Structure 1
Amino acid sequence: MPPKPEDALKWLSASYSTADLLAMLTVNQNASPIVIDLPWPLPSQGFGNPLDRSGRGGGSCYRNGKAYIDYGDLDTARGNRATAADACIDDSLIDKGSPVGTKKPGRYQEARDLADDEGLEPETAINACHLIADKLGGDGKDLRNLSTCARQANSYRSVDNGRIEDNMRAFEKEVIYQVVKNKQIVHYNVEPVYADDSKVVPVAYIMLAFGTDAAGVPGFQKAEVVPNSLYGPKSKTWYNLGLQ
């Protein structure tokens, strides 16, 4: 059963303790776990948690009666890395985004080199992940909305090449279904998590969604932590790109 709105933060913390996060981020069946000292609760980039409805006064996430997308500022002190994205999504935004442009996020080529070393096709194994997907209206040419990611984090791969079932695309597809089929208005937030201040590639993405109907009655709720992990078939090892 999904959490009550007022209990959402407690539910999220209980569901994703530091130990749970470490287990999800490592995703490594063939090597010793890599310890990541992540703060908990995770810091906010100023947009807040869509699941926390306290002080919102009810109603949908609309701003002046319309859907919107906001991008957090690039962290210029830490390699121009993306910080967060927040959106209020209705059917006016579906399929209105854009694919990735020529500008790529930090350490994109280094991640492709790792994929190549593992016998993978770099062009497909490494992606520039939208925080707000293009199918949800996200801009693929705005570096505030992009970070270097493994295909496994972004979408589905064959089982032989490693597979993360609860990937970003799976989450996005559910949001699209709720918006298009169930007419939900979804407050949607994606925040990349970094291992430390020196890293420009996330170890994971926290994805949060809270939907209401047009009258503001709560409906769809979902939270996920997606590890930014790449499977290397040559070494039979999982690599978290945020730790390379």
Structure 2
Amino acid sequence: MDGVVLHRTKVMPPLDDVGLTPAAAYIQYCATARLIDAIGVGDWLAHRRHLSIIELAELVRRDRWRPGAQQARQVLRHLDAGSRSLPESEVRLLLGFAGLPVPEVNVSIVVDGELLGIVDLLVREVMLALEYEGRQHAESIVQFNRDIQRYATFRRHGVEYLQVTHEMRTRPRTLVSRIHTRMVELGYDGPAPVFGRRWDELHAPIPAGAVRQSPIHNEKGDPATRPYRDGRPGRRSAAG
């Protein structure tokens, strides 16, 4: 039958009342997915409570022989359930795998005790907000006006922000370089982005092999130690 593949297995993966659990299906997806896609999809599933990252980690540990298990294990340390959309995850990963500081996701901006809004991504080192502008922001009059008011509020309080569009995402190196330039203007003195082996790994299928400590490094060049966030996404605050 077209589109149907027969798998032989000694042990069935976990099932729910529909079929395979999302965690089990996700592991199989990781067998052939690019790293950037696998992390983005994992973030999306975790944010919407379709799977628990702890559940995924336990299934990978228990059934490490399954196709995709070794790849999913390498993805685990990068997952962040606070990321609400695939574009947010993508921009976060592009910066991290280019050697720049990894932005925090969905952070509340508070200035003088006033909540100004929640930004998609925050480069805390220079307090630069990155806002993804999807097509719905232009197609919805309500959303469009809300965005105008919010950005006006940011400007009044001196909050630096950079808007990221779908078209900018189609040129990832240019996007990362543009963000880095703005960071430098705001005082960032860390290393410039590097589009080398780690960058290439992000855009390639995940090899089944030994797990590295962490392909994402912090601004000092040390392996990032921030663990993945599971459960209901919290709203972290950036006080001004």
Q: Which has the higher contact order (CA 8 A, sep 6+)?
A: 2
The structure where helix makes up a greater share of residues is: 2
Q: TM-score range by the shorter chain?
A: under 0.3
Which structure has the larger Rg over C-alpha atoms?
A: 2
TM-score norm. by structure 1 comes to: 0.26
The structure where strand makes up a greater share of residues is: 1
